[in-house]
Amino acid sequence: MSSAASRPILVVILFLAGWSLAFGQAGSTGGTIGKTDKSISGGEEVKPSGEKPQRARPQPARSKVFENPTIDNIRVDGCMKWGPVDCGAPAANHWCRSKGFGRASEWSTERVHPTIFQDPQSSVKVCDYFFCGAFSRIVCE
């Protein structure tokens, strides 16, 4: 074969060889050796996880209902101490805070006796009169 006739064949072979070498580069189906996901600075790039970032969903308020709450088996008075002092919301909120909650969202009372006051500094600890009122229900959040 003459050298003039072999040149076109050589060009075709080199062209084909160069084309197949392009498919051998990183990311091709042929695979690679070593890490290919490095940044120029040398650290690895952070790959997206494929999951959308989730926003913090508001959690439903943790709540608990206390039916006929008691201290030492005596119903809790609707007031903090004798007087009547701090009745209703202050006494209900105090109960909820003592149980690890932030506040009382609702409460109800009924006339019963005896009842016990929550304020440890109250001069009277127990109300045993007909006008005493105890919590029948407290909802804490």
pLDDT tens sequence across 81-120: 998 899 999 999 999 999 999 999 999 999 999 999 999 8
Q: How far apart are CA 114 and CA 23, in angstroms?
A: 90
Domain that holds residue 130: 64-140
Nearest to 108 by CA among 73, 139, 81: 139
Q: Decide if 75 is inside a domain.
A: yes
pLDDT of residue 111: 97
- What domain count does the chain have? 1
The pTM score is 0.56
Q: Decide if 36 is inside a domain.
A: no
Q: Which residue has the higher pLDDT, 41 or 112?
A: 112
Helices (H), the chain: 3-22, 89-98
Q: How far apart are CA 75 and CA 69, in angstroms?
A: 6
Q: Decide if 99 is inside a domain.
A: yes
Q: Are 117 and 123 in contact (CB under 8 A)?
A: no
Q: Decide if 83 is inside a domain.
A: yes
Q: Decide if 40 is inside a domain.
A: no
Q: Decide if 57 is inside a domain.
A: no
Q: Decide if 81 is inside a domain.
A: yes
Q: Decide if 103 is inside a domain.
A: yes
